[in-house]
Amino acid sequence: MFQGGVAHAAPHSGYDDAGPQVRAMQDDDTQNPGFLWVQQGETLWTEAAGSRATSCATCHGPVTAMRGVAARYPAFNPATATPITLAQRINHCRTEHQGATRLPPESDALLALSTLVAVQSRGLPLAIDDTGPLRPFIAAGETFFRTRQGQLNLACATCHEERAGHHLGGALIPEGHANGYPQYRLEWQKLGSFPRRLRACMLGVRAEPLPADAPDATNIELYLAVRARGLTVETPAVRP
């Protein structure tokens, strides 16, 4: 059952809702399990792939040059006139510039490269441009966030806005910000992407889950990045 909670005027990171042991795990890079994927990403960054035998470093140089990039994603892709997530951009680079195959969603390789790029922006504020061509997609993401669905007839906003800070079955309900993905979740015992968490929520309300690259999944990730303005990139975050 729901119990009393605390509302916050400004965006409230899930880090602040976690217990001291979880926060300590995130704070210490030597104890944060997400850094196992960061290390894998460092290897992949300089590894030649595809028919062109090029690596990420061939075009971008050292990965430190990626600082600030993740804070701007999802971003507008002029080639398709739609938003694109960081993971989708990595796969685009593979197919268009390396002549390589796409990495499967939720694969360790895609999570590793996504996390490696994102960790370069750790501590930087989210900086999504909501004044240009992304505006209709942000609106679509908000509509999804507020639309009730599934057999339980619940919207994302029902839990993560109306009931944020309350408790459900003994667990604190967070505001649902996506500023730490890919993130390591103790319940998964693994690093995972935002689309994986979204699918878990949809299954929880007994709705049909979205494929990882579905436009609605990208739109809500985009909306949540705007909604979380004021927070910083925490990748790889650690959550219960």
84 with 141, same domain: the answer is no
How many domains is the chain partitioned into structurally? 2
The answer as to whether 25 is a domain residue is: yes
Encoded tokens for 136: 């209709």
Whichever domain contains 196, its CATH number is 1.10.760.10
Judge whether 159 counts as a catalytic residue.
no
pLDDT tens track, the chain, 240 positions: 223 344 456 899 999 999 999 999 999 999 999 999 999 999 999 999 999 999 999 999 999 999 999 999 999 999 999 999 999 999 999 999 999 999 999 999 999 999 999 999 999 999 998 989 999 999 999 999 999 999 999 999 999 999 999 988 888 899 999 999 999 999 999 999 999 999 999 999 999 999 989 999 999 999 999 999 999 999 999 999
**pLDDT of the residue at 5:** 42
Which of 70, 89, 119 lies at the terminal end of a domain, its last residue? 119
Same domain, 19 and 54: no
Contacts of 81 (CB under 8 A, 6+ apart): 133
Asked if residue 161 and residue 110 are part of one domain, the reply reads: no
Among the options 56, 59, 93, 201, which is catalytic?
201
Residue 3 lies in a domain: no
| Predicted local distance difference test score (pLDDT) of residue 6 | 45
The Cα 119–Cα 150 span in angstroms is: 35
CA-to-CA distance for 207 and 149, rounded, in angstroms?
A: 6
Same domain as 189, residue 154: yes
**Residues 179 and 217 both lie in one domain:** yes
Residue numbers of the domain that contains 14: 8-29+129-239
With respect to residue 136, please indicate whether it lies within any of the assigned structural domains. yes
Q: Are residues 39 and 141 in the same domain?
A: no
The pLDDT, as a whole number, for residue 197 is 96
